[in-house]
A and B are shown apart, each in its own frame.
Chain A
Amino acid sequence: MEFSYTDEQRMIRETAEAFFLDVSSPQAVRQAMGQARSYDPELWQRLCNELGFQAMIIPESCGGLGLGFVELAIVLEQMGRRLTCSPFFATVGLATNALLLMASEEQQQRLLPAIAAGELTATLAWTGEEVGRAGGRWDESAVSVKVAPCQGGYTLSGRLRYVIDGDTADLLVVAARAAGSEGRDGVSVFAIPAETPGISRTWTPTLDQTRRLADIQLDKVFVEADQLLGKEGEAWSEFSKALALGKCALAAEQLGVARQALDLAVDYTLEREQFGRAIASYQSIKHKAADMLLKTEVACSAVYYAACVASEVLSKEGDAAIASELHEAAAMAKAQCSDTVFFNAGTALQLFGGVGFTSEYDIQLYFKRAKASEHYLGNGAWQREQIASLLIDGGGLS
């Protein structure tokens, strides 16, 4: 049984752990939160140039490192631990996955080398106003930008909401639907440079200041035919896989956030004395911490599993049987990690007592990131309903 890191993977983890501990200190995070881009471009360039993490899952033929999703998950977990402010998640966890699954060989050659070189950031822009209906509907019904064919290409119009790094990304991977289409039909996906005429982008200030969201207005944006990714009107099936990979990536990051919330809480309770001893020695505190570790461990298993499945999905010679578990694995990982990250951050906040409520302590930043990451791509309840649908209605998870 080899359901554990290889030596190489362990090395990547140690490298990532040391790097983010160094460059993504609480001071650095707070500084980035106040900046116009919400991340430090210098740190992003160091990450790209010194470590090449952004190139991990890009094939060597496109200038990448050709590593798997397990390696990506390792890095994301470490970024989560430090709440690293960076375009990494949107560029790699969301957009690169979509390009790997959907772009033609020629399109990949055009776009991926720039991402691998750290010269291009990107994001997925796919949710319209409808995504907020009934507390969050992260499926095909969220796609509402309209696309119509025209001479030499297509015209896109509509409003995109809650786009991660939407105001700073260089490239937008946009999902749109044909007028009159419904459900999974009529969905097309495009790779669009953010500077294309007709696109206006507005930063929307957020509760979690470590990750930025934006509104994007598309006003008769013209895109060329070769910017279409996959098949016109039939892209949902592949796009939903990209979203599933995004869930796996986000779950890995959540695991790191959850782990760090636990570690911070334990460290604090070991230091803090009341009634003449460290509060960590009281069972009421220990049992809360034990519950956090239990959830974290289960979340870790979920991330390992999902990352293994995602690796098979991205690999050209991947095991088809394992790859077919993608939607279920992603939903399970996102459900478990969403619940865990909120539980851990909330419990940690409680264990910090009064000081946790101050802006000076960092635990509040984890508490805010927890809720934000819980919502994106669907919270635990949403994922469970997807699973229930698969189990009970046999509807399939796509």
Chain B
Amino acid sequence: MKLTFSNEDERFREEIASWLESNLSGEFAHLRFRGGPGDEHAFPEDRKRWEQHLAAGGWTCIGWPESAGGRGASIEQQVIFAEEYARAGAPGRVGHIGEGLAGPTIVEFGTQEQKDKYLPGIRNGTDLWCQGYSEPSAGSDLANIRTRAVRDEASGRWAITGQKVWTSLAHESDWCFVLARTNPESRAHHGLGFFLVNMHQPGVTVQPIEQMTGTSEFNEVFFDEALAEDIVGEPGDGWRIAMTLLGFERGVSTLGQQMQFQNELNDIVKAARANGAAWEPTIRQRIAEAHIGLRLMRYNAMRMLSADSQESGASSLVYKLHWSSWHRNLGALAMDVLGPEAELLAHPPYELTRLQALYLFSRADTIYGGTNQIQRNIIAERGLGMPKETKGR
């Protein structure tokens, strides 16, 4: 059992750290620490250019196999990349859905023709992707999808009609992968297809959702007989592909995310020292609790990433519930440290301070990607072998 990365991995760390240090300058200097969760509306055009700059340096899609144009980097190196990327304050990636979700799905399930058509644009940072899963009536019950895909027998093409919701970055994206029902008679996870849809066509309408933060990271996307460019796999394979896709992430971004959390915690401790809250016993307890939770999140991630550990199964099951709850508590702590000052906005009409944004955005963490309640069901069922609840309908 070891706490440290290998020497080879540490050399990789130095390589990426020094590349970021010298490249996050000049025209990109203002992007440092911008565009992360809750700040995704910041400098979209500049961040697209940064994505392409990153690609030119060979730093996009590093975890993809070399045959797909990646570096075939190990899980450890991908983790280190994400950690150093966050440590350097490099901006929120506009290409992460393509790199982390769409690309690996096409690599795994796509035809050679599809790979040739879609992977280069993702790798070069020129094609941005979004994810079309959730719908107004398909939230926690994701399989309850109503968006339809109808095949035109003459042209062989699929037309998509329906509504998606909570689609991050839809307004910046060129492509969307869409889960839609190919068999109108089907129910739940049967009869779904996995479609690749060009966002730049008349049948696609993107409507930003104004959030309680006053900003709009999420969108509604309406498809009105929008033509799908391709289907991945066969009609009916959609659910299997979508579920496999959820496993691709495999904790690669965890240490990078933790680096952002550490910055937030540091800000809170700084504020607490400045106004004296740091010497209030209850605040001290909560700061220490936050510190412990974050440190242990790192070791949770390391256990999860340690291959073929018999114990790693449960650690990955609980990971999301842990970080989301921790982050939500951190948001509340930030406000309680500031006290009455927590009320004061950065600017009118409704521009939030960094800690206010943390307070509000962290409420989304316990909802998206499987609510805490769904997570607990999964933990109890898969981790402890407790029976599933009887379903309705």
Contacts and interface: CB of A to CB of B under 8 A. Distances in A.
A304 interface: yes
Interface residues on A, range: 35 or more
A281 B384 contact: no
Interface string B285-314: 101110111011001101101111111101
Contacts, number: 170
A283 B384 contact: no
B338 interface: no
A312 to B, nearest CB: 8
Interface stretch (A59-67, A217-225, A355-363, A385-393): A385-393
A4 B295 contact: no
A331 to B, nearest CB: 8
Contact of B278 (A304, A305, A392): A392
B284 A392 contact: yes
A281 B303 contact: no
A18 interface: no
Contacts of B209: none
B83 to A, nearest CB: 13
Contact of B388 (A281, A287, A385): A281
A278 B306 CA distance: 35
Given A4-B1, A385-B284, A387-B292, A293 B305 contact: no
Interface stretch (B36-44, B361-369, B373-381): B373-381
| Residue from the set A5, A289, A294, A308 with the largest chain B CB neighbour count within 10 Å | A294
B292 A301 contact: no
Interface string B223-252: 000000000000000000000000000000
Main secondary structure of the interface of B (DSSP, over half): helix
A293 B1 contact: no
Given A6-B1, A293-B384, A385 B288 contact: yes
B69 to A, nearest CB: 25
Given A1-B307, A3-B303, A289-B384, A308 B1 contact: yes
B380 A289 contact: yes
B75 interface: yes
A388 B288 contact: yes
B265 to A, nearest CB: 9
A286 B299 contact: no
B306 A388 contact: no
A301 B303 contact: yes
A309 B1 CA distance: 11
Interface stretch (B178-186, B191-199, B315-323, B346-354): B315-323
B296 A301 contact: yes
Interface string A377-388: 000010111011
A384 B284 contact: yes
B267 to A, nearest CB: 14
Given A290-B318, A294-B318, A300-B311, 7 more contacts: A3-B306, A5-B311, A283-B373, A290-B384, A293-B314, A297-B314, A383-B288
Interface of B: 1-5, 75-76, 79, 269, 272-273, 278-279, 281, 284-285, 287-289, 291-293, 295-296, 299-300, 302-303, 305-312, 314-315, 317-318, 321-322, 373, 375-377, 379-381, 383-390
